[in-house]
Structure 1
């Protein structure tokens, strides 16, 4: 790549210099000229080719050239790797917010949703300020207000279509196509590689810029508008032909070492240099992250990840960790209807969620009343300081329960934790529990109820039905789409069913956003 001569850059407010990634041959003028990413005119790009034709390497070269040429404040990179991990090396670049694989479904959904939201935010911003596109915006505002260009690199379209492309009736593919139609003007660009299916599919109509590397059948070049007679019999890796014109192009390597390890090492070196160069760029101008959720985490580790501001209330409880930058999530039961529902099938981890609430409340000096009518880890809380009572029968005496909860105040709150709640639906203390749900917030009381998704909070009336009105809760391995009613959300069929997997859940905090979280334990 160092051998590519790039023309002098004229500059201008907000403009970015071109980033070279290849050379094209111009026989008519007996000359060659660099192939560059020039964001003043760059939209999207598609590169078709057979396996081992250099598709993944083009993306690595593009990423390396962009990172070497531009500040992390001006261009952000994201990778979707539907191949064998060739894009993982991009994570060494400070410009890269995430590289997600096709087997990381939840993380891909988060990335696509963030990009969709960012596109909408930018469209509103440009419209409000009267800018036609990102170029006008960058030229007109102060440097620290300029929108960065976002480049999404997707490797192996043929790996996307049968896996991620099938999720929720193809919704992710629809979102990518929307980005290709509307994203370029607001600075969101897609670069896709794939086999011939990329060049002949519906998505191929959404950009004019395409290249063909060596294809399995020379006749496939007709999809690029290139006559077969213009295509040589032998095409080396990295050699491509531009659509319509058939211009012969050689994509560059990042280093002389042509091996995958050599190219990854070159990317790492570019990343180190860019990190040092852009050390002063503030966090607010760097790419948003889409971190990978750990498979397991302990409660003390998760407790350290909570947001100090959000968790200031003594009725805030840690449910799980999640989000794009991995933080602790949980409800503040001092706000709104003071109830939270934990639902799922047997062995899905309901009692673990309740234990995490118990640890959260006790750590903040909140006293507990516990009910565990079946064998439950919560019974082990009996005798713990701050635990006023552990009910273990299939009923709760109303007078005793009332005496306990009457000790609560806004300064000294009490939380009631109930496991296997469906057993206690018609308990003696039913009227007190109904009062707790309806007016407990005024008295420093809160309720967390866990139970089987098919039975808990069922029916048309009663204290458990009232608890659903909080529209807050967590679903653990839900098996029915109707379970979304328990926590105030709608679930699609693709979100339910499958094997029960303790440790993960879908959390709703009443804000309309459904988050996937890992439950500590």
Structure 2
């Protein structure tokens, strides 16, 4: 183990292998110094020890440094070798490449944090994270952030064109600007790391075995400088062509054996860092559930919510109930193709409003689960006719006993040219007062193209939910550009995208119908 850091705020180097120096007739530890090293590339073919290098480095960093000083995140594009890292208190998330929305949340947060730190350092005249940590009190030091990617070649292949390449663009920005603000990217992949646009992002490279010896030239090595046999974990340090051996975590070198040692070490580290406050721990990116019930969401909803607040599903980094506040924005639109679950989402909003003491008036001109609300406390009426007269509609509104109320409309496109256009427009503009709201569901394309006054106001309010969007123009309904990557995907039943007027599109899971 290298000596401890001598300067307050500095982490000091950790050893994760040995380096052979024949010219000096000596060996020395293979070190990673977070205070002086930016990014690291681990290059090798399959089964050359790439994943083990990531595991060993993560274990060494976590064992040496407090959770308050170092936060770790991982993208596993392989066979799950990095999943045991999730047990470390330093680890905010290990994301599978198939968990696209979770990956999007994590990369989005990294780029936001990068921007925040750049602005902060500029305002305070701080050159980099090392300087910030040296000058700050113990509780004010920003943590080093590590992002590890296993099998980068798979990540690049899968996301080269996804959402116009935005995932790779965000990773490229982290590589370009992250080192100075304490964002370290550790990429493990094959020869593509020596030839892609990322190749020049760092000089810190370890080259493990490559199956084709002609590939060594692609990463900057002469094949003559490479031993004829490279066992797993044997690497060439590209800076000086020194030969290194990556350490293993225990005598059992199988994947299961290494994972077991890492899990046992994680339990000890959790006990050691039990006193680290929540504010100093890593941000978590919890995976959205594939299935959730209304009762489960209702139980986790905050108590004492205002009457016009509702939830439509669970989402966000902590997977909590999310939904509109009709006292803030008087409308909420739910759009989706037929049989996509938009009526189920509307029913969730209606039920949550009722639980908060908000009276509702339901308009359901077609068969809808909203009709089953008839007769429940707080439901003044259920209208089943799209041709309801304006005078009758106003009488129903006036008869609602509650001080606050919401009109709930299913298949709302049928009311685009109805007799109650003016009343719906009044609700949409908020002219009926702060105690009233309008929640509608319908075909996203029809609602987006609708020219009725109340539909125009609905779109201007920029608040709603999209389920299974079929076109880029569907985003007009909620006032936000939607990523191309989510268009036309069947996705998980109940998966939807929420916009609450803040410019952020959040994936949510809508409760199933019960």
Where does residue 230 of structure 1 map in the other structure?
225
Following superposition, the deviation at residue 367 of structure 1 comes to 1.0
Is 1:155 the counterpart of 2:143? The answer is: no
Is 1:84 the counterpart of 2:76? The answer is: no
| 1:464-511 deviation line (CA, Å, top 9, x unaligned) | 222222110001101011111111101243331233753011110001
Q: 1 CA distance for matches of 2:491 and 2:45?
A: 39
Following superposition, the deviation at residue 78 of structure 1 comes to 0.5
Say if 1:73 and 1:281, in contact at 8 Å, map to a contact too: yes
Is 1:402 the counterpart of 2:394? The answer is: yes
The 5-angstrom pairing of residues 165-244 of structure 1 reads 165-244=160-239
TM-score by length of 1: 0.95
The 5-angstrom pairing of residues 52-451 of structure 1 reads 52-308=47-303, 312-336=305-329, 338-407=330-399, 412-440=403-431, 442=433, 444-451=435-442
Q: 2 CA distance for matches of 1:247 and 1:272?
A: 35
Say if 1:351 and 1:378, in contact at 8 Å, map to a contact too: yes
Q: 1 CA distance for matches of 2:239 and 2:12?
A: 27
Following superposition, the deviation at residue 440 of structure 1 comes to 4.4
Following superposition, the deviation at residue 358 of structure 1 comes to 1.5
Following superposition, the deviation at residue 8 of structure 1 comes to 2.3
Say if 1:408 and 1:444, in contact at 8 Å, map to a contact too: no
Helix, strand or coil at the partner of 1:122: helix
Call closer, same or farther: CA 1:443–1:192 in 2, change over 3 Å. closer
Where does residue 38 of structure 1 map in the other structure?
33
From 486, 490, 493, the counterpart of 1:499: 490
Q: 2 CA distance for matches of 1:408 and 1:339?
A: 19
Say if 2:450 and 2:456, in contact at 8 Å, map to a contact too: yes
| 1:58-93 deviation line (CA, Å, top 9, x unaligned) | 000001111100000000110101111100010111
TM-score by length of 2: 0.97
Where does residue 29 of structure 1 map in the other structure?
24
Call closer, same or farther: CA 1:266–1:360 in 2, change over 3 Å. same
Q: 1 CA distance for matches of 2:97 and 2:393?
A: 51
Q: 1 CA distance for matches of 2:434 and 2:128?
A: 54
The gaps in structure 1 that reach 5 residues or longer are: 1-5
Q: 2 CA distance for matches of 1:435 and 1:213?
A: 68
Compare 195-204 and 450-459 and name the one that shifted more.
450-459
Q: 1 CA distance for matches of 2:222 and 2:407?
A: 75
The gaps in structure 2 that reach 5 residues or longer are: none
Moved over 6 A (4+): none
From 487, 506, 509, the counterpart of 1:518: 509
Q: 1 CA distance for matches of 2:178 and 2:232?
A: 31
Say if 2:426 and 2:432, in contact at 8 Å, map to a contact too: no
Say if 1:335 and 1:441, in contact at 8 Å, map to a contact too: no
